Amino acid sequence: MNPFSAKSPLERVRDALFSAWNPPETLTPAKWCERHIAEIPYSPIPGAFRLENAPMMRAVMEAIVNPRIQTVSIIASIQSSKTLAPELTLAYIIANMPGPALWLDTTDANAKNESESRLQPLFENCKPVKNLFPFDKNKKRNAAIFFRNGMPLWILGANNKRNLQSRSIRWLFGDETWLWAPGRMSEAEARVSAFGRLGKCVFFSQAGFAGDDTDVKFRSSTQNEWCFECPHCGAVRPFKWENVHWDALAKDAETGKWDFSRVRESAKLFCAECGAAFDDTEGTRTRLSKTARFVPQNANAAAGVEGFHWNALATMSWGVLAEMFLRATAEARAGNPDNLKAFFQKRLAIPWNEEEHDFAAEVFTETSDYTLGQDDWDLEGVADAATRSFVPAGEWTGDPAAPRLRFLTADVQEGYFYFVIRSWSPHGDSRLINCGMVQTFDEIAQLRDKWRVPARFVFLDGSFNTQRVAEWCAKNRAIVLMGDRVAGRAFFRHPDKRERVYAPRRLIKTSGNNVAESYYFSNLSCKDKLTELRSGESPAKWELPSDVPVNYLRQISGSEYRTLTAANKPIWLQRGRRPNHFFDCESMQICAAHMANIFQPKE
């Protein structure tokens, strides 16, 4: 019913004048929606809009109306308010910042559904917008609404090329752009050029494929990541899938099948900074959301391009996600990657990359009957000073404090270290006894002392920040290792005419006339040997504890792959951007074992 039908012509003119001259409200878009959105008809949460139910929307909505920002790019998980934020902001714009607007869905049919089932019911529940509906029903259709304040809104399909022609638009909204035909995003952007810096493009989508238009647009943005503040250490860290762990014992050692109820019950999110564990409850997610905020990840963003990314970890049970991931991974290994692809695209909001997510290339390693940190191993080598050799601990009757045959290897990154501590027998068997991530050189020293690793058996990656690593190694008698990535180079010739997987020693000068001992080593040979040990093809036993961290397994399983160059030379390459830090640490362990003559050098 026309809300003005019972009013006199004079009253209608008066109301129209008041509406035309009424200044826009000074509330932020989110606060305005909390005041004026009586209900979101399609929301599972009844009642008026409340920002606390999806706090990441605040920054998104403010960016959309910020005149200094020309493009907003959103990639987020499904069912996490990624479409709701633009829808609510559009209601605010109609009432407060009117201008020609175009809402593009993938097809005309999808656009019609968006108009009928979401936008128009939302506007009906927002009084300031509802009062602007046209009197003439012909001006309120599914494909177009001409509001009484002069603002036209078209709701059309992006893949119908005719919809992108002959319209000058101030506000462009593009939904599920990962399904748009290549080049359509650029064509749509051209529609706002007539409005200059007032023109605004808002693109929002789940993730699609690496290198598609949606991915390229987001990578040009600030790439704001939704991060939580750890209540224990105060660190602000992203909600990352690699920091969700569950009980490794939930997997049956004989059948290889997972007990999914145990997976769901044991799943926790860990702080990558201090290791604090967070239980998988709605209360936990609510508490983390109260201090969560967006943190930009791209300092080289294009001017005026703001990007936002969040995944399902902020809104969904981690245990349920873990079960989805494990089931999808099992299907991918059996040859059907569709559900795994959907998990990455829809839940983690990460573009799919066939090479990066090639789970068929993974090597499964069984765990052994010991736990992380357990270091009473009868086969571990103990240094016999009299014979200058190592003997198994089970046969050692000398000084219990004698040095042990264990190496600490660390992959050095900017601001943190990934480390592995592995115990070795004199015959090539080995056990992982600790692994993880620390932030400082002092913590590396503490690990060395706690786990009784001889100073000369500490090896740090010197590929990044070489001089600083060398300074520490020189003062602590540790060794700098640098992986040699020359394709096909498996060995280095030494002065004794033998070929080894590591190059002859070189010295790095540091402050105070100190020098650090440094070696290049063959990535090819060490990773080949690591794969041989893991696959069981070697008589030596390469062991993992029963409670090995899931993040460690992810990084050593399929983070790199062996291939051939155009010149037909073998080389190991990283799979896309998959973290490979623990894989590098274990490769350094192989080099260290060679240097200790655990593996005999090539004649």
Does the pLDDT at position 407 exceed 50?
Answer: yes
Instruction: Give 582's contacts (C-beta < 8 A, 6+ positions apart).
Output: 411, 418, 420, 435, 551, 552, 555, 556
pLDDT band at 193 (very low <50, low <70, confident <90, very high): confident
> In terms of pTM, does the model score above 0.85?
no
Percent share of the chain, pLDDT over 90:
68
Provide the residue ranges of all domains of the chain, joining segments of one domain with +: 20-219, 224-295+311-361, 381-595
Give tens-digit pLDDT for 294-310.
999 999 998 999 999 99
pLDDT of residue 9: 62
Average pLDDT over residues 152-159: 94
pLDDT of residue 272: 85
The structure tokens 């590098």 sit at: 584
- Helical spans, DSSP H, in 256-317: 260-266, 282-291
pLDDT of residue 512: 82
Does the pLDDT at position 4 exceed 70?
Answer: no
The structure tokens 């480390």 sit at: 419
Q: State the Cα–Cα distance between residues 291 and 295, nearest whole angstrom.
A: 12
- Helical spans, DSSP H, in 115-182: 120-124, 127-130
pLDDT of residue 3: 43
- Whether the CB-CB separation of 167 and 173 falls below 8 Å is answered with no
pLDDT of residue 255: 74
- Whether the CB-CB separation of 29 and 88 falls below 8 Å is answered with yes
User: Between β-strands 71-76 and 305-310, what pairing exists: parallel, antiparallel or unpaired?
Assistant: parallel
- Whether the CB-CB separation of 438 and 481 falls below 8 Å is answered with no
Give tens-digit pLDDT for 500-559.
999 999 999 998 889 999 999 999 999 999 999 987 778 899 999 988 887 888 888 878
- Whether the CB-CB separation of 574 and 560 falls below 8 Å is answered with yes
Average pLDDT over residues 329-356: 85
Q: State the Cα–Cα distance between residues 547 and 26, nearest whole angstrom.
A: 55
The widest CA-to-CA distance across the chain, in whole angstroms, is 111
Q: State the Cα–Cα distance between residues 482 and 588, nearest whole angstrom.
A: 9
DSSP codes joined into one string, 219-241? HTS--EEEEEE-TTT--EEE--G
Express the helix, strand and coil content of the chain in percent, nearest 5 each.
Answer: 35, 25, 40
pLDDT band at 285 (very low <50, low <70, confident <90, very high): very high
pLDDT of residue 332: 78
- Whether the CB-CB separation of 294 and 56 falls below 8 Å is answered with yes
Domain covering 381-595 assigned CATH 3.30.420 in the classification? yes
User: Between β-strands 152-157 and 406-413, what pairing exists: parallel, antiparallel or unpaired?
Assistant: unpaired
DSSP codes joined into one string, 51-63? GGGSTTHHHHHHH
The sign one gets for the Cα dihedral 36, 40, 41, 46 is: negative
pLDDT band at 362 (very low <50, low <70, confident <90, very high): very low
Superfamily of domain 20-219: P-loop containing nucleotide triphosphate hydrolases (3.40.50.300)
**Residue 577's closest CA among 172, 295, 241, 137?**
241
**Residue 588's closest CA among 492, 500, 522?**
522
Q: State the Cα–Cα distance between residues 106 and 470, nearest whole angstrom.
A: 55
Instruction: Among 57-71, 107-121, 229-243, 323-337, name the one with the lowest average pLDDT.
Output: 323-337
In angstroms, the first-to-last Cα distance of the chain is 94
Provide the phi-psi class of 335: left if phi over 0, else alpha when psi is between -120 and 50, else beta: left
Percent share of the chain, pLDDT over 70:
93
